[in-house]
Structure 1
Amino acid sequence: MQAPPFSLADWHRFLFGNANWHFLVEVLIRTSATYVLLVIAMRLLGRRVAAQYTLFEISIVVTLAAAIGVPLQAANRGMLPPFLIALVAVAMQRLIARAGITHRRVETMVSTDVTLLAREGRLELSELARAAMPHEKVFEAMRLAGWQHLGQVSRLYMEPSGAFSFIPARPAKPGLSVLPAFDDELREEARVDGCAACTRCGDTVQSARAGDSHCEHCGSRDWTYAVTEVER
């Protein structure tokens, strides 16, 4: 059926669509029922869903949103299917979460595992590629956490939720700067003479060993000066 032409005078169709105003009362009831359904579902899913989402939690929330969105606005859609979908989603989440308590492999299959992105001031390029994580995203996370260079970090992990966690190096050693390239003043102030860093993986060596030689860890020939922490 062809839709009627748009008319500025047709306020009823503009505001209510093809339904009458009585459907607004039904929308209020549907919305209230949906709200209660979501509160119960999120409560049953557990507190971990209220934290940063893993891929599995995101899939559950998207499923709930897709199931509940349409019946709120469509008079010809009943409310029983969304309740059933929410029940199945909650049951699956709780079943898999319970299985993950005793079988870690189940947990890692649905939520992925912790990824080691940096070790002893050097980026693990193979893990970065596997996680599709660009260098600048790692450097951004380090800057937000207050780090200035890779040599300050003994371990850098990416958690299943996508968050980053750090283990500081004790003591820190010179490393590749994570500061923006345009901040020449601070980078130069932190420069360590006689020490070079690979721009690709962050491995640090004496400047005399760098030059045009290959990095022992990644094979790159691109070197820059290493830096240390600058007190501000």
Structure 2
Amino acid sequence: MKKEEIYFPDWQRLLIGNTSWEFMLEVLIRTLIIFLALLLVLRLMGKRMNGQLTISELAVMVTLGGIASAPMQLPDRGVLLGIVTFVCALFFQRGVTLLAFRNRKVEVITQGDVSLVLKEGVLGIEEMENLRLSKDQVFAALRTKNISHLGEVKRLYMEGCGLFSIVKEEPPKPGLSIYPLKDEDLVHSQALDQKYLACIRCGFVAEAPQAQGTSCPNCSCNEWTAAATN
């Protein structure tokens, strides 16, 4: 538009742009058609599209959003072109999924790989740095599973889709508390094992006489706290 054509208040331009009011009815029909086509394509893509998305699935979802917008809103674009593009995206997603099923390398590239975040109650600091994962994020995920300290966890994996999966330690060992420090009542109510100290950075546990005044052998941190128990 030329700048002299822009003025305020121009309510028709503000509300419907350069189209006519009749086109609003057409937009309703276009949106309905594209919406139904999108539902059908998502249904054919499988149940995974309704859950936590992998990298490739997220890319497909973003693509579908871009495909859907133009046929719904642009008067010079037909809806059939959008539907054909939907079908192309469907076959692309199905093809990638089939290749990933048959080839482990393709699966890792398109869906990501599992990462070991915690082992035997000790955080993998280097792995967390590679994943750009903070301790608060890890602790929050563990608290949702009713875990109170790291000694209760044998393994913590971060799956390729971003979900955490936990293998619990049976029986639990002393470990670093994961309760928020600002929740003083809960922190003070937690049982502590004064025989063991836990590294506040990675959760490595050592006997108190050996740990006092030394650096953590796992992460070189020199700050310790009493290990929590059940």
- Correspondence 1:115-194 to 2 at 5 A: 115-189=115-189, 190-194=191-195
* Distance apart, 1:44 and its partner CA: 1.8
* d(CA) in 2 for partners of 1:84, 1:7: 40
Residue type at the aligned position of 1:73: Q
* Distance apart, 1:3 and its partner CA: 5.7
- Secondary structure of residue in 1 paired with 2:5: coil
Question: Residue 90 of structure 2 aligns with which residue?
Answer: 90
* d(CA) in 2 for partners of 1:168, 1:222: 26
* d(CA) in 2 for partners of 1:43, 1:30: 20
* d(CA) in 1 for partners of 2:201, 2:59: 34
* Distance apart, 1:201 and its partner CA: 1.0
TM-score (norm 1): 0.92
- Secondary structure of residue in 1 paired with 2:154: strand
Structure 1 residue runs of 5 or longer lacking an equivalent are none
* d(CA) in 2 for partners of 1:85, 1:114: 32
Residue type at the aligned position of 2:224: W
Residue type at the aligned position of 2:135: H
Point out the more displaced range, 185-194 or 103-112: 185-194
- Secondary structure of residue in 1 paired with 2:3: coil
Residue type at the aligned position of 2:102: T
1:100/1:5 CA distance change after superposition, 3 Å: closer
Structure 2 residue runs of 5 or longer lacking an equivalent are none
Question: Residue 206 of structure 1 aligns with which residue?
Answer: 207
| Percent identity of paired positions between Structure 1 and Structure 2 | 36
RMSD: 1.6
Aligned residue pair count = 228
* d(CA) in 1 for partners of 2:4, 2:215: 68
* Distance apart, 1:80 and its partner CA: 4.0
Residue type at the aligned position of 1:222: E
* Distance apart, 1:136 and its partner CA: 0.6
* Distance apart, 1:72 and its partner CA: 1.6
CA contact (8 A) 2:100 2:110 kept: no
CA contact (8 A) 1:187 1:227 kept: no
Residue type at the aligned position of 2:73: Q
CA contact (8 A) 1:158 1:164 kept: yes
* d(CA) in 2 for partners of 1:3, 1:211: 77
1:25 counterpart = 2:29: no
Point out the more displaced range, 179-188 or 216-225: 179-188
Q: Deviations over 1:131-171 (max 9, x none)?
A: 11111100011111111000001111111221111111001
Residue type at the aligned position of 1:49: M
* d(CA) in 2 for partners of 1:197, 1:3: 70
1:114 counterpart = 2:107: no
- Secondary structure of residue in 1 paired with 2:167: strand
Q: Deviations over 1:175-231 (max 9, x none)?
A: 0011001223332332211210011110101111112211111121121111113xx
- Secondary structure of residue in 2 paired with 1:226: strand
